[in-house]
Structure 1
Amino acid sequence: MADERPARAPRLPPRWFIRLFWSAHRAVHRVSGRRVGLWRPGASRRRAWGTLRLTTTGRRTGGQRSVIIGYFEDGPNLVSLAMNGWGAGEPAWWLNLRAHPDATVDLVDGRRPVRGYAATGEERSRLWARWREIDTHLDAYAALRPSETTVVVLEPRPGAASDATRGE
């Protein structure tokens, strides 16, 4: 007879731990002279996502704000989730990006100017399915949030050359 126990809701570490982890990640990136902490998405499902450093303009202060987030590549676009550590509310970087869509990303191979927007309709469904391939628990984690998780697309900014393109 098959085990028919109901699926358990995924367990997340305490909020303070999630915040501490990402603060430590940013600190390691900064202290290493930006040589550690960013990586490209790999071919295996285990490492199918990478990390990038996103710099946005603060919606209230106008100052530059940076955060390290996970992403995967979809053609020339970079795709992330505005998930706030799977907690309630939108992450500050997404609120900033909605107010000021032009931003920059630092990748392993250089800086890239981007414009961010929320995927909708078929595009959102397609990109969510790609994230689901990367993380089989995605829907269960998303169910922990009181609102739908935004799929964020960072597309190359028209007319802006990237540092990687210029060789800087």
Structure 2
Amino acid sequence: MASFSKRLLQLAMFIHTLIYRLSHGRLLNVGDHIILLTTIGRKSGQMRTVPLYSVHDGDAYVVIGSYGGADAHPAWYHNLQARAHALVTDRGQTLPVIAAVVEGTEYERLWALLTTENPNYERYRSRTARTIPIVRLHHRGASQPMP
């Protein structure tokens, strides 16, 4: 992704996260279901938070690493690959989760669900040769802190 485009996306995500936190998710969830995903940076060890579109599948959140169709996976995806424990903030409530990458027939089922909810993902897929990852975030219980 071009440097200017990447910085613009980072600024937009920062502003989106700030508005989400200040409004407890009420201002940015019109028509979509936006959550905040907090991971631990695989290189920095710092907590990193990004707003993501999600759908529910049973009691799990499902997110997609589209990165707008860029040729690289988003940083949050790499962070989850290094450390699957994360936090999800949904309308002011924060839950500990564990991430699992979805594959096979389950991937196809969830891709259909995600693209029905948000058709832009098909456009993003047409922009890149990589397989866009889908990640399921399962609640892991309050007694398990983020390592």
**Could you say whether these structures have the same fold, taking a TM-score greater than 0.5 normalized by the shorter chain as the test?**
yes
Of 44, 47, 50, 1:67 maps to 50
SS at match of 1:143: helix
Of 7, 13, 19, 1:22 maps to 13
Q: Which runs of 4+ in 1 moved over 4 A?
A: none
Q: 1:139: how far off? A: 1.9
Gapped regions of structure 2 (runs ≥ 5): none
Of 66, 75, 97, 1:83 maps to 66
User: In the aligned structure 2, how far is the partner of 1:149 from the partner of 1:156?
Assistant: 23
User: In the aligned structure 1, how far is the partner of 2:24 from the partner of 2:139?
Assistant: 22
Higher helix share: 2
Cα RMSD between the aligned structures?
2.5
What TM-score does the superposition give when structure 1 sets the normalisation length?
0.72
Identity of aligned residues (%): 27
Structure number, greater radius of gyration: 1
Determine if the alignment matches structure 1 residue 53 to structure 2 residue 36: yes
Q: 1:86: how far off? A: 2.1
What TM-score does the superposition give when structure 2 sets the normalisation length?
0.82
Q: 1:136: how far off? A: 2.8
Gapped regions of structure 1 (runs ≥ 5): 1-13, 163-168
Q: 1:20–1:115: structure 2 CA closer, same or farther, 3 Å change rule?
A: same
Q: Which has the higher contact order (CA 8 A, sep 6+)?
A: 2
Q: 1:85: how far off? A: 2.5
User: In the aligned structure 2, how far is the partner of 1:82 from the partner of 1:37?
Assistant: 23
Of 139, 142, 147, 1:161 maps to 142
Given that residues 66 and 124 in structure 2 are in contact (C-alpha distance below 8 angstroms), is that contact kept between their aligned partners in structure 1? Answer: no
